[in-house]
Chains A and B, each alone.
Chain A
Amino acid sequence: MRIAGIDIGSRTVKLAVLEDGQLILSRNTMTSYNPLATAQELMGDAVFDVITATGYGRHLIKGHLDCPVISEITAFARGARFFSSDCRSILDIGGQDTKAISLDQEGNLRKFEMNDKCAAGTGRFLEVMATALGFTIEEFSKAGLSAGKAVKINSTCTVFAESEVVSLTAQGAARDEVALGIHKAIVSRSIGLLKKVAVPGEIFFAGGVAYNDCVRVLLEKEMGQPVFVPSDPQIVGAVGAALSSL
């Protein structure tokens, strides 16, 4: 049987199809003002027997496909175990959410924490900050990694931090040092959530922000725990949704 999961996130829509325990199809695209159309386009010619939806747009899809839905938290909990069969601590930094999740030995949801309703310290925050400094997302991470020291950024609120960055650059602060400061701010905020739930051992890092090496390196250093990033950190929620179709 082919099982599918669709994760309609705030910035991207992801589709995963599994067969016999193997991920056979993985797609993602940017979310538009019409997430339903985006999701339908993404599903396109994909062949599957059952599908489960997750992410912010899950209830919208449910209305059209009459499919089951699960919360992102459960989806990430299940999806993480697909990529790392014994993981117990999960951090997902997506477009507008940060989730920290811990599992028991059997993989059941033990505790979770999410950021407040604003997008402070999330993927969207990093995008805006990179733009404010004139970097692409890839350059931004590299700049952070190469900086010798960091300029302290006090806010993870996207609006406040942007004006803080403008003030700093106007005072002549080095761009890569500001970049490192921003990465430290997002890591410090994520750790605040993670420490409430995490257990010792490896941290499974998912979501689009997991592609950012600077965040990963800082996270590993600050937590003092190894951080594992799966080959496609964005697909984890869709895989978890697919697995719950069984």
Chain B
Amino acid sequence: MTFNVSDVKPLINDEFTGEPTKRALQYISNQRASGMPVVGLYCGYAPLEVIRAVGAVPAILCAFADKPIPAAEEVLPANLCPLIKSSYGYIITDTCPFFGLSDAVVAETTCDGKKKMFELISSHRPMFVMDLPQLPDEAEARSNWATMISKLKGFLENTFGTSGTSEGIEAEIQATNIKNRLIRRVYEYAEKKPPLLSWQELYELSYLAQVATTEHLLPIFKEIFETIEERDDKGIYYGSPSSPRVLVTGCPVGGDSTKVYRIIEEAGGIVVAMDACSGMKPFLSDIEEKTGDPIGAVAQHYLEIPCSCMTPNTRRLTELDKVIDRFQPDAIVEVVLHACHSYNIEAYKIMTHVKEKHNLPYLKIVTDYSEGDVEQIRTRVEALLESI
């Protein structure tokens, strides 16, 4: 799948086009060189505003490549989620540059595999494991999670010898909201039929926006909007007006598992929305401002992330409805990583919901990071798109 004209100026036009990890690595290295401590993260539940308020820079740790999995399987069971195996493999083979730069690691009890994997890597870096409430609508959930976030703040302050204030967290909340609104403005161009940007560009933007501050992103956004408005003026679009629009939901997708996006496009579809923590989920809502309790506001915001570890995860359906309404997909593809039981089981609810409420064709793909199932996935995806 390509743009309708050649030589389209990339959305983020720098020397790292097509290499979001290298761009993030350079950003984090520069921040660290200026004296900022680095906090390694594995998950969207890590409260970025608090990490920034204590003067640290967040880094998304490596978890998306097949390469370190054989090393991981010397210790971990083979029938475990590839994201967990990959994360662990990167640490024991010392090949994750972001981990190399990290002064501390924040982890969350999202699933059993991650919890136990964190125990195995806890000796490598100062680590704080956050006990994530998994019944988010219970009355205690918010206060328990706020307590965890306060404890995290204390851990980071002790580890780095810095301090964060309520005002600082409030300022970060407001900065996040500005960033998220700008990103949602970019998404408006993915809503267009046909879209004005590719999934690679959306993916690169998500990747950078999770680590960079709003202040540093503002000039990049200025250029992004110039580029995209120019595309609009010149009638440049991605795919074709007849390409089926595909919304991909489910587990985080990155690195080697972007094979699914690639296959969808090779089969003639366009990925217009990525409903996952690796895609659009972190940016779709705002954090409440000026509550007088910024930690409470942050706690509320993150608890609302509809990960399948939550139960009953009704918010996943209501959020999915909004994403479907915005991006107008012709089909839904759900990516489930091997042995991710919660997404795999929840997939049944998603399938039923999108078929009954939206009358959309749905395909669940259970996969890992290897290339071994590409042709099998292709057959299913082609059949899905042929059925539209």
Contacts and interface: CB of A to CB of B under 8 A. Distances in A.
Interface string B360-387: 0000001000001101100110110011
Given A56-B375, A74-B387, A109-B387, A116 B382 contact: no
Given A108-B387, A109-B387, A71 B379 contact: yes
Contacts of B375: 56
B383 A117 contact: no
A74 B383 contact: yes
A71 B366 contact: no
A114 interface: yes
B387 A114 contact: no
Nearest to B387: A109
Contacts of B383: 71-74, 109, 112
Interface residues of A, number: 13
Contact of A117 (B372, B382, B387): B372
Nearest to A55: B379
B373 A72 contact: no
A73 B372 CA distance: 20
A114 B381 CA distance: 12
Nearest to B351: A111
A72 B387 contact: no
A230 B245 CA distance: 37
A70 interface: yes
Contact of B386 (A56, A70, A116): A70
Contact of B380 (A69, A70, A114): A114
Q: Which of A56, A72, A73 has the most CB of B within 10 A?
A: A73
Interface in A45-72: 56, 69-72
A56 to B, nearest CB: 6
Contacts of A116: 366, 376
A117 B373 contact: yes
A109 B380 CA distance: 12
Nearest to B362: A111
A109 B382 CA distance: 12
B287 to A, nearest CB: 40
Contacts of A73: 379-380, 382-383, 386
B76 to A, nearest CB: 21
Contacts of B382: 69-71, 73-74
Interface string B332-373: 000000000000000000000000000000000010000011
A63 to B, nearest CB: 13
Nearest to A69: B382
B386 A72 contact: no
10 contacts: A69-B382, A71-B382, A71-B386, A72-B379, A73-B386, A108-B387, A114-B380, A116-B366, A117-B372, A117-B376
Interface of B: 366, 372-373, 375-376, 379-380, 382-383, 386-387
Task: List the 4 closest A-B pairs by CB distance, nearest first.
Answer: A73-B383, A71-B382, A109-B387, A71-B383
Given A56-B379, A109-B387, 12 more contacts: A56-B375, A69-B382, A70-B382, A70-B386, A71-B386, A72-B379, A73-B379, A74-B383, A109-B386, A112-B380, A114-B376, A116-B376
